[in-house]
Structure 1
Amino acid sequence: MNMMRMKLRHYCTFATLSLLALLLIIPRVLAAQCVQQASLRKPDITEIISSGWPTAPDGPYTWGYCFKIQRGNPDSHCKPSVEWPCAPGKKYYGRGPIQISYNYNYGPCGDAIGENLLRNPDLVAADRVISFKTALWVWMTSTSKPPMPTCHDDILGKWKPSTSDTAANRLPGYGVITNILNGGLECGHGFDEKVKDRIGFYLRYCKILGVSPGENLDCGNQKPFGHFNSIYVE
């Protein structure tokens, strides 16, 4: 058991450090980026990515970044789309460091990185370079209608909320990143256990990197950008 635990911890550390080395950006960006895979969850199963648990060795927020494929028995994650039609027999559940999901994300992401991810979504889990390219695409891109900020611009402080954003309590900070990715599920209804976990992971990474977490970490009082999210909103 101890040997298996050591191997798992080694893999988790390697995965985290690989992303940090790839990004080469400022510490708060790294902390926020790390959390999204460590705590990302979807509605169809109880727990997919979060590796933390109350009795985990070294604390509940020390075991993120351990899985490259959505856990459980996910459905196809295929939504009707003329522009990004699903390939027969393919599933678009979460894969990669930030668990890109749904055909409407696999399609434009594949176009951006030069891979046909609609036809072969398994590349995201099988090819480490493609995997991290998808993570960077999710982090740096907004494909929503109307446009949302990118996660990157928010955490860097480049995003300036509009009057409607301010009225919706969407203010710059880590909470907006949760809103961008999963706001329709996790934001705008007060306390949410999944959001608490995200913040817990984020604070841990900020402490490790020696950076202030900033303000507005929660999204409980923010109006969601969309009714569901997972990046795309219309």
Structure 2
Amino acid sequence: MSLIPLARLLPRRRSLGRSAAALAIAAVFTALFTAPAQAADGRISGLGGKCVDVAGASNANGTPVQLYDCNGSNAQRWSLPGDGTVRALGKCLDIVDRGTADGSLVQLWDCAGTPNQQWVVSGANDIVNPQANKCLDVRDRSTANGTRLQIWTCSGQSNQKWSAPGSGGGDPQPGGFVVSESQFNQMFPGRNSFYTYSGLTAALSAYPGFANTGSDTVKKQEAAAFLANVSHETGGLVHVVEQNTANYPHYCDWSQPYGCPAGQAAYYGRGPIQLSWNFNYKAAGDALGIDLLGNPWQVEQNAAIAWKTGLWYWNTQNGPGTMTPHNAMVNQAGFGQTIRSINGSLECDGKNPAQVQSRVTKYQQFTQILGVAPGGNLYC
């Protein structure tokens, strides 16, 4: 069954707000922590300048992986051969019992090609397991030798930041995301702390062609176009959920065979493109391998999942347009076609020129930040 375009059914006006506490916390972390040193000799270094280490330098299956003083030993010599694995002592970095929950520990194990041994080293210095949508994390933020490593929801904090050896192609964005963290912060100076840069870069593995297709100009134009539209949808990445709670019960289509297992009022707008309706949660969840129909709250609780739902729409849905927003940008149809695909039935063809202008202005601002021309066909 074809999907009803989600964005055209959402309210457009939202009040803006910002938590001063979130800004203060971010400033404290910036002051207290600096980026880890560049990797050398296969080391993966992180919190406190310490290294990812195999306990006792043992290559037995199940050996704990921990934080330890960097010492140049083989227990700290890691490689990323380009198949998505992270290896030491001839074995792979592995999540115990294939866990996906916060706090699942990591260990060394025979390389098996399973999802719990797949990792993405992001341009933001996160090491992410795509299946769990979680980051390699130092337990309790401790710098004590022997502190176990685990996976945890990506937060952008210092106990999840790593300097790793060259990936050799293991990173689906080997050149890094075309938008740096400083440029992202410049684009969204008042953003909600939920919308982390690390969450966005962790989500890129779901659609590796996004902002990674064509020339550098096209890559930057696509990134700017996506971020300009999500800025418009969320009031500058301020709103995580739809602000009009009166609409919440309206997004359940009981005619669908799977119904609304999370409840009548559970499928309201969430995330950077404000995913709504039970059938859109079902379609996005099926595409991403996440149960969003049963647990739609994941989109407002996990930044990487939220960003993935936005990228799902951008890369796979035509909406009221004739092409996906991704195809509109990589095929140089112009920014105006992305507006049409997201909310064309309410904004394009003269229906709401002020809203169109708002999106175009934001796109022009973002392309300027990225140092690239916006191209033609900006309006719809």
Give the TM-score band, short-chain normalised: 0.5 to 0.7
* Structure 1 unaligned blocks of 5 or more: 41-48, 51-63, 159-171, 220-234
Task: Structure 2: state its 5+ residue gaps.
Answer: 1-17, 25-188, 205-210, 213-218
Counterpart selection for 2:331 from 148, 157, 163: 157
User: Contact conserved, 2:336 with 2:377, CA < 8 A, in 1?
Assistant: yes
Match of residue 365 from structure 2:
204
| Match 1:127 to one of 302, 317, 321 | 302
Q: Within the alignment, does 1:181 sit opposite 2:355 as a pair? A: no
> 2 CA distance for matches of 1:13 and 1:156?
30
2:223 match: 30
Contact 1:124 1:131 in 2 (8 A): yes
Give the partner amino acid of 2:248. Answer: D
Change (3 A) 1:209 1:5: farther
CA RMSD of aligned residues (A): 3.0
- Choose between structure 1 and 2: higher strand proportion: 2
> Does the CA contact (< 8 Å) of 2:194 and 2:240 recur in 1?
no
Matches of 1:179 and 1:156, distance apart in 2: 16
| Partner residue in 1 for 2:248 | 75
Aligned partners of 1:38, 1:91: CA distance in 2, in Å? 24
8 Å CA contact 1:20, 1:30 repeated in 2 = no
Structure 2: how far apart are the matches of 1:16 and 1:199? 24
Deviations 1:48-87 (A, max 9, x none): x22xxxxxxxxxxxxx222221223233323354255333
Matches for 1:85-234 after TM superposition, within 5 Å? 85-87=259-261, 88-142=263-317, 148-157=322-331, 172-189=333-350, 192-219=353-380
The answer (yes or no) to whether the contact 1:31–1:205 under 8 Å persists in 2 is yes
Are 1:15 and 2:188 matched, yes or no? Answer: no
Judging changes above 3 Å, is the alpha-carbon distance between structure 1 residues 175 and 136 closer, same or farther for their aligned structure 2 residues? Answer: same
Taking structure 1 as reference, are residues 31 and 112 closer, same or farther at Cα in structure 2, changes over 3 Å only? Answer: same
Distance 1:215 1:5 in 2: 41
More deviation, 126-135/136-145? 136-145
Amino acid at match of 2:237: Y
Distance 1:67 1:34 in 2: 14
CA contact (8 A) 2:319 2:342 kept: no
Highest CA radius of gyration, 1 or 2? 2
Partners of 2:371 and 2:196 lie apart in 1 by 16
TM superposition outliers: structure 1 runs of 4+ over 6 Å: none
Identity of aligned residues (%): 33
Superposed CA offset, 1:201-234 (max 9, x none): 1111010001111111111xxxxxxxxxxxxxxx
With over 3 angstroms needed to count, the CA separation of the structure-2 counterparts of 1:213 and 1:144, relative to structure 1, is closer
Cα 1:84–1:215, aligned 2, differ >3 Å: closer, same or farther?
farther
Distance 1:195 1:143 in 2: 18
Q: 1:143 to 1:66 in 2, by over 3 A?
A: same
Deviations 1:120-175 (A, max 9, x none): 11111111221122122111113669x831111111116xxxxxxxxxxxxx1111
Q: Which has the higher contact order (CA 8 A, sep 6+)?
A: 1
**Structure holding more helix per residue:** 1
